[in-house]
Structure 1
Amino acid sequence: MTAVVVLRLPLDSDLSGFVALLQRLRVPHRVAEEGGEQVLWVPGQELAEQVRELYARHPQGDAAGELPPSVVPVREGFATQLRRSPVTALVLLATFIVFAVTLAGENFSTIRWLSFVDFRLDGEHIYLTYLDATLGSGQWWRLITPMLIHFGWLHLAMNSLWYWELGRRIEFRQGAIGLLGLTLLFGLASNFAQYWWAGPSLFGGLSGVLYGLLGHCWIYQRLAPNAAYRLPPGVLVMMLAWLLICMTGIFELLQFGAIANAAHVGGLLTGCLTGLLGGMLARRTI
């Protein structure tokens, strides 16, 4: 669903009260400076008309604390969310396709074409090449494709759910190109971080990208508060606590498999940096 302009107001107009009202009503919206004006967008023409009517009656927001009776929180259907989040959906579709062709991470003959470095199997032993040899043969796609590899259904389910949650937020706030660029950047940064820390190894998954998206929303929201990046209470604490638990090595000790902790940290730090830059640029945005 395309974004529709609801209002264009001078920069000195105070929209904070009305934006707070939209946030309480859970109305998806975006406000930014454009051409020397404040511009308010919402997804869809029907919602735009409702918001214009709401602004006509309550331009300063809901100072009395009573919600307008004709306005209710917006609940979008799954199909509508898919149309409004094409990049989020396409990244997940690519992930599902790779999961299928790699047989849930069991088909190593396919995985070797998507891993960060090439490798060969000899019985139960795996022999990995170094990155310079891999890139020297022109296989540049490997810098990104490990984010599409998942080992098992639980690995896929957890990463897919979080990408769906965080990706849609960023795609609405910063657009499809913005989300695509951040996804590729965080994938690249997390893959390089894991290789730098552990050397040639077999790893994969969207989790490094997810920590990048998390860090981006976290810092961006601190500098330029907005409804899209306001995460549910406890999510940040839970994700950071999970990162610290993984870094203790407990899962390797219990033989649950190795965790690409450097990829998580690399993604998180890169996301915090992009959130800092994006938030600073958005400080002029309401």
Structure 2
Amino acid sequence: MFSRTENFSQYIRLYPVVTVLLALNIIIALLGYIPGLGDHIYFGGMGINFLIAEGEWWRLFTPMFLHAGFSHLLFNMFSLFVFGPELEKIAGKARFLTIYLLAGVFGNIATYFLQPLDYASVGASGAIFGIFGAFGALVYYTKHILPQLRQIIVPIIAIGVIMTFLQSNINVTAHIAGLIVGFLIGLSYFHPKRIISWKKR
């Protein structure tokens, strides 16, 4: 289910939303290495709570396309590359994009309200955890139909949550909020009738 066997052109054709999100994050990361421009992009889009409080509301959206270094980008984009396609295929392009963006935005909103004013963060992790949350909702509806999905997703979610609290410099608020939002949206999208039709394809 989560093993990617498509070639490059097939991947782009089958999963256009995931492809665009991957491209945006990678391009923005590469632009970040350009002297002057990189700092402008990074600090202009970082989620800085006291600047959000002063009216820079775009910072509730832009942090999900910025990353603090190569390893941060690699982890999030690898997760999107592996887990995003299956959710895009099941949910559809518009619904997948809705899950991804709303989980990311609400993760940043939760960070704004629950963290101090001097708190700053970047990363797509809230949106990535939204994908995991949506799969959690799918598991909830299909636990007796697709036990193999539960065997894969539940440990991934559990490990992700545990690592969130064990690692340093992690926006715990965005991770947990993204996970919850993804789960709630998934509950509304993945009605059992939808799953049955998907199984028949």
Once residues 273 and 235 of structure 1 are traced to their aligned partners in structure 2, the CA distance between those partners, rounded to angstroms, is 16
Q: For residue 127 of structure 2, what is the aligned residue in structure 1?
A: 209
Once residues 150 and 139 of structure 2 are traced to their aligned partners in structure 1, the CA distance between those partners, rounded to angstroms, is 13
Q: For residue 153 of structure 1, what is the aligned residue in structure 2?
A: 70
**Taking structure 1 as reference, are residues 234 and 176 closer, same or farther at Cα in structure 2, changes over 3 Å only?**
closer
Q: For residue 131 of structure 1, what is the aligned residue in structure 2?
A: 52
**Taking structure 1 as reference, are residues 113 and 80 closer, same or farther at Cα in structure 2, changes over 3 Å only?**
same
- CA drift at 1:224: 4.3
- Count of residue pairs the alignment pairs up: 191
Q: Does the aligned pair in 1 maintain the 2:84–2:131 contact within 8 Å?
A: yes
Q: Does the aligned pair in 1 maintain the 2:91–2:189 contact within 8 Å?
A: no
Once residues 230 and 81 of structure 1 are traced to their aligned partners in structure 2, the CA distance between those partners, rounded to angstroms, is 24
Please tell me the residue identity of whatever aligns with 2:124.
L
Q: For residue 20 of structure 2, what is the aligned residue in structure 1?
A: 90
Answer yes or no: is 1:110 the counterpart of 2:31. Answer: no
**Taking structure 1 as reference, are residues 221 and 263 closer, same or farther at Cα in structure 2, changes over 3 Å only?**
same
Once residues 230 and 274 of structure 1 are traced to their aligned partners in structure 2, the CA distance between those partners, rounded to angstroms, is 22
Given candidates 13, 26, 31, the residue that maps to 1:101 is 31
Given candidates 143, 162, 172, the residue that maps to 1:244 is 162
Q: Looking at secondary structure, tell me which structure has more helix per residue.
A: 2
Once residues 81 and 164 of structure 2 are traced to their aligned partners in structure 1, the CA distance between those partners, rounded to angstroms, is 22
Structure 1 gaps of 5+ residues are 1-25, 27-73, 118-127, 253-257
Q: Looking at secondary structure, tell me which structure has more strand per residue.
A: 1
- CA drift at 1:267: 0.4
Q: For residue 79 of structure 1, what is the aligned residue in structure 2?
A: 9
Once residues 99 and 283 of structure 1 are traced to their aligned partners in structure 2, the CA distance between those partners, rounded to angstroms, is 37
**Taking structure 1 as reference, are residues 177 and 284 closer, same or farther at Cα in structure 2, changes over 3 Å only?**
closer
- CA drift at 1:115: 1.6
Between 237-246 and 193-202, report the one with greater CA deviation. Answer: 237-246
- CA drift at 1:280: 2.9
Please give the residue correspondences for 1:1-286 in structure 2 after superposition, counting only pairs within 5 Å. Answer: 75-103=5-33, 107-117=38-48, 129-135=50-56, 140-200=57-117, 201-224=119-142, 231=149, 233-248=151-166, 251-252=167-168, 258-280=169-191, 282=193, 285-286=196-197
Q: Does the aligned pair in 1 maintain the 2:76–2:128 contact within 8 Å?
A: yes
CA offsets 1:88-138 (integer angstroms, 9 cap, x no match): 01111110111112239x943321221223xxxxxxxxxx63423124xxx
Sequence identity (%): 24
TM-score normalized with structure 2 length: 0.81
- CA drift at 1:240: 2.0
Q: Does the aligned pair in 2 maintain the 1:224–1:279 contact within 8 Å?
A: no
Which protein, 1 or 2, shows the higher relative CO under an 8 Å CA cutoff with sep ≥ 6? 2
Which protein has the larger Cα radius of gyration, Structure 1 or Structure 2?
A: 1
Q: Does the aligned pair in 2 maintain the 1:92–1:160 contact within 8 Å?
A: yes
**Taking structure 1 as reference, are residues 97 and 284 closer, same or farther at Cα in structure 2, changes over 3 Å only?**
closer
TM-score normalized with structure 1 length: 0.59
Once residues 163 and 88 of structure 2 are traced to their aligned partners in structure 1, the CA distance between those partners, rounded to angstroms, is 30
Q: Does the aligned pair in 2 maintain the 1:88–1:171 contact within 8 Å?
A: yes
Please tell me the residue identity of whatever aligns with 1:241.
I
